[in-house]
Structure 1
């Protein structure tokens, strides 16, 4: 290995700084890990320091030797620690030493990643997979050198920005988050906020995909934002066709069959013009992994300035390994939450529910009904459950309940929307929602809403 990939002098400098000024250990250990050391003797001595500190033992040459008499080479810990302490000019330069050690550790990891990528390329894997692995490997290194970042902040340092934000929201000069396009839902979730993972769950055919796509369309077509939709269930052509139906108010069946009426053509032209001008991007590749999704999303954000990300749906994301499915889905969920924080945008994640809710008297789903992993509910900032009871008259007429079962920044609740099936969209509910008594008794309220259509 090249000399430039490590610095024995800097590693000795770190160890010497601790020996000469033990009160620096907490700060040093927050910056440097055992794995950052290249020299095995230095790494072993640093580990002994960590063990002593954890045990509440003061760190000096004698206590280190008492904790561990010999290092991996067989050399006396007492002799090596004494030698290190004598050859460090001053503990005052520890930050410079730490930075050198961290930089060299990062360089070694980059070289190792390059070896892995080279081996992968030689295995004749698909080019897209090699590129995704390369991007993931380099992205994972982006935050390793964090010496320039503040580890903690005094509340008074944060307070001015928080007060300014509150004042801006009070004066309506700053939105609380992106609108969903549905008034009652916006009132509940108070906007889709940057860094949040919004889980939209539902049974098959409930309309969760309709809701997710509609929100993405609203952000891109009405709010002039940029959105990226990953669909592992539909083709990109199907997604765009649904967009035309939704935006133009055109029967989706007519678009599929080509049996358009004369008055459909102006609507189609108008919807096409809207989509032409929208920054809505779609990906319909099968077998996507989180690493690949992350790579594409980062690329899209750099080029287009991403505002929202949609994933349809989480259970179709391929796992990196073939171990326990629940654990793998949990890892995928946490990775998507981290992606939302990294990109600083709302990430809408669609999820299938199990059929446990169908056995309840009211058939209403709960966040715990999300299939495969409870980690999804735990990671989510907002959980919206799409509930349409097709055994009821109102459900057959498209009346759908959006249950906000979890929201970190507001109270849970629900609202009613009208699903217009032939236009693959939801609109705000114009009638009155059922009372609690009616829900419990299963009484019909389909006659109490306006504009209902059993074919919508």
Structure 2
């Protein structure tokens, strides 16, 4: 027995519940939209209810008729509303009716999407274009797993869990968030938190990808990554260099020393046991990233998602690029909230900072869209001045230009270029006087060169 794609009875039940108990309207309206109705008469009557409510008019059979005398078929609104009211004896089961109406509406959307996909497949278009059209056709379908959740909560209901969390953090039995692996950076951002979007920005060659990958590796070798700027082989090779402390050039050329092999074996064992998932497909869209991430979370478990980088994500349409990147940014923020994990998004900066006296970047320097800065919970800017002796020796400033749950600030780290990683800076950071006078402080950190 096949399932019907609509239920006139459930649609009548929703309308009848409003007529019998008008005080339920706001709650019902938050669950069911006009577009969820299949029957045109019922949809029209529901719209009249919405119009009356918006105008501050009480909802009953007479006021509905006064608001709109006839429905699309020509039938009198008074007659149709009266028929609905008489055939629904109780409003008690309105939630069940609402679920049925929404489920059938989604089923109809799925069927319509299938027709679109079928028509596209029969037009002899390239396979990649058919797949893209299929993704677009299904992108607006929403899951029904939020049914039954409360729309709002009383503070007293939330308070016990919050107090327990504070107590656990005080007793050090619960971390405030995932560690970045860099002590000074952790002090600034206070952990990478579930549902947060963390933007790591930098100019080309500044080390933003190194930082993003290193954070993700530290979180896991439980890592989940969607790597868009490099091949999967390059990403894993960098992981071996970073975890093993092996010269990346030696791995690329094969000129390994005797003492490199034990390091390589150790790093390989770590990666073999890691929850590291990499995708290096070109032309990825947010819809595709979301699909892969949800699948990975369901099958493998997901601790963090790394996007390298936002400006490489393909837009669903070819309109204004700034608007499209803004939409992509908001979608990634929503994905973080949906998956309840930190999403680390790498982003290119424009070159505006290079014209400033101190050359230090700001969150507003993120390229293509200011929406990225607005959506981000944390913005970390990687600043390495290659014109200075310090920068040439790998000293890098991590500027936390935005953080919702802490104060902005910065810290110094040492980039170990050949190992493609950062370590905590062991020397003395420059004072304000040093910065203002352009005074070199290379001698303060020369001892760190042994890490390079």
Superposed CA deviations along residues 119-166 of structure 1, whole A, max 9, x for unmatched, are 344345676776787678668545346441211111111111111111
Once residues 224 and 30 of structure 1 are traced to their aligned partners in structure 2, the CA distance between those partners, rounded to angstroms, is 35
Mean alpha-carbon deviation: is it higher for 295-304 or for 285-294? Answer: 295-304
Residues 95-117 of structure 1, C-alpha deviation per residue, up to 9 Å, x if partnerless? 33223222222222222222233
Query: Is the 8 Å Cα contact of residues 226 and 307 (structure 1) preserved in structure 2?
Result: no
Q: Counterparts of 1:127 and 1:303 in 2: how far apart (Å)?
A: 27
Q: Is the 8 A contact 1:402 1:417 kept in 2?
A: yes
Q: What is the TM-score with the length of structure 2 in the denominator?
A: 0.93
- The Cα offsets for residues 393-435 of structure 1, whole Å up to 9 and x where unpaired, read as 1111111000011111111110000011111110000011111
How many residue pairs get matched?
452
Report the CA distance shift for 1:409/1:129 in structure 2 as closer, same or farther (over 3 A).
farther
**TM-aligned CA distance change 1:221 to 1:62, over 3 Å:** closer
Cα 1:133–1:345, aligned 2, differ >3 Å: closer, same or farther? farther
Residue 355 of structure 1: how far off its partner (Å): 0.7
Does the Cα contact within 8 Å between 2:195 and 2:343 map onto a contact in 1? yes
Contact residue 397 and residue 452 of structure 1 kept, 8 A: no
Identify which range, 3-12 or 195-204, moves more after superposition.
Answer: 3-12
* Preserved contact between residue 310 and residue 348 of structure 1 (Cα < 8 Å): yes
Alignment partner, residue 13 of structure 1: 13
Task: Give the CA deviation at 1:277.
Answer: 2.2
Name structure 1 gaps, 5 residues minimum: none
CA distance in 2, matches of 1:399, 1:282: 29
Residue segments in structure 2 that go unaligned for 5+ positions in a row: none
Q: 1:339 to 1:136 in 2, by over 3 A?
A: farther
Report what 1:157 is aligned to: 157
Confirm or deny that 1:353 pairs with 2:349. Answer: yes
Indicate if the aligned counterparts of 1:195 and 1:343 stay in contact, CA closer than 8 A: yes
Asked if the contact 2:228–2:308 (Cα under 8 Å) also holds between the matched residues in 1, the reply is: no
Shift of 1:227: 11
Inter-CA distance 236–100: structure 2 relative to 1 (3 Å threshold): closer
Partner Cα separation in structure 2 for residue 228 and residue 298 of structure 1: 18
The alignment partner of 2:307 has SS state of strand
Pair 145,207 (structure 1): closer, same or farther in 2 beyond 3 Å: closer
Aligned with 2:191: secondary structure?
A: coil
For residue 203 of structure 1, report the CA deviation from its aligned partner. 0.4
CA contact (8 A) 1:312 1:350 kept: yes
CA 239–319 in structure 1, closer or farther in 2 if over 3 Å, else same: same
8 Å contact kept, 2:246–2:263: yes
Structure 2 distance, partners of 1:369, 1:227, is: 23
Partner of 2:317, secondary structure, is coil
Alpha-carbon spacing, 1:250–1:291, altered in 2? closer, same or farther (3 Å): same
Counterpart in 2 of 1:362? Answer: 358
1:405–1:413 contact (8 Å) kept in structure 2: yes
Between stretches 2-11 and 24-33, larger displacement belongs to 2-11
Identify if the C-alpha distance between structure 1 residues 437 and 300 changes in structure 2 by more than 3 Å, giving closer, same or farther: same
Change (3 A) 1:304 1:95: closer
Q: CA RMSD in A?
A: 2.7
Q: Displacement, 1:19?
A: 2.0
Alpha-carbon deviations, 1:169-204, whole Å to 9, x = none? 111111111111111001111111111111100000
CA contact (8 A) 1:228 1:297 kept: no
- Distance in 2 of aligned mates of 1:159 and 1:136: 41
Secondary structure at 1:3 match in 2: coil
Are the aligned partners of 1:219 and 1:226 in contact in 2 as well (CA < 8 Å)? no
Q: Distance in 2 between matches of 1:98 and 1:108?
A: 15
Which deviates more from structure 2 when the two are superposed, residues 321-330 or residues 263-272?
Answer: 263-272
CA distance in 1, matches of 2:40, 2:96: 21
Q: CA separation of 1:227/1:258 partners in 2, compared to 1, >3 Å: closer, same or farther?
A: closer
Secondary structure, counterpart of 2:110 in structure 1: helix
The SS at the match of 1:451 is: helix
1:260-271 to structure 2, matched below 5 A, reads 260-271=256-267
Please identify, of 280-289 and 213-222, the stretch whose mean Cα deviation from structure 2 is larger. 213-222
Secondary structure, aligned partner of 1:244:
helix
Q: Contact 1:202 / 1:351 at 8 angstroms: preserved in 2?
A: yes
Q: Secondary structure at the match of 1:453?
A: helix
Cα deviation digits, residues 190-240 of structure 1 (max 9, x gap):
1111111111000000000000111111122389999999xxxx1112112
Segment of structure 1 superposing worse, 426-435 or 290-299 = 290-299
CA contact (8 A) 1:220 1:279 kept: yes
* TM-score of the pair, normalised by structure 1: 0.92
Structure 2 Cα separation of the partners of residues 432 and 377 of structure 1: 31
The answer to which of 217-226 and 14-23 deviates more is: 217-226
Deviates more, 1:3-12 or 1:236-245: 3-12
Q: Is contact 2:223-2:305 (8 Å) kept?
A: no
**Change over 3 Å in CA distance of 1:222–1:83 after alignment to 2:** closer
Partner of 2:101: 101
